[in-house]
Amino acid sequence: MEIKITDAASKWLISELNLQDGDGVKFFAASDKIPAEHGPKQGYAKDNHPDRPIYSIQKDGINYHINFDDDWFFSNLVTTIDYDDKGGLTFSFAGGPDTVAGASINYEKYLM
């Protein structure tokens, strides 16, 4: 799992979410459909208190992360988050599906 955030996406997220140095943003699956739909529109939200983060990076003073709940969606993928005026914030994915990703979402549903 790897997340790449372009400079354009970082600037846009900082402006859109009114982020300050040290704030956080989580990325998550836009739906829990199985099989997963790895399309250009996924979820994001300001989140300064990660819940069991499994991946995090910092860019431009902002802490970006993925929580355990969404491991099933991002596992074994390189996700690039970009922004342009026409498409807005977009997600693109490279790599193959993780063969154990389905087990992760089922485990999470079990915990609920």
Write out pLDDT tens, residues 45-60: 999 999 899 999 999 9
pLDDT value for 48: 96
d(C-alpha 88, C-alpha 47), whole Å: 20
For every residue of the chain, which 3-state class applies, written as one string? CEEEECHHHHHHHHHHCCCCCCCEEEEECCCCCCCCCCCCCCEEEECCCCCCEEEEEEECCEEEEEEHHHHHHHCCCEEEEEEECCCEEEEEEECCCCCCHHHHHHHHHHHC
pLDDT value for 37: 82
Write out pLDDT tens, residues 89-100: 999 999 855 544
pLDDT value for 99: 43
Of 2.60.300, 3.40.50, 1.10.1740, 1.25.40, which CATH number belongs to 2-111? 2.60.300
Residue with tokens 């989580």: 26
Tell me which residues of the chain have a pLDDT lower than 50: 99-103, 110
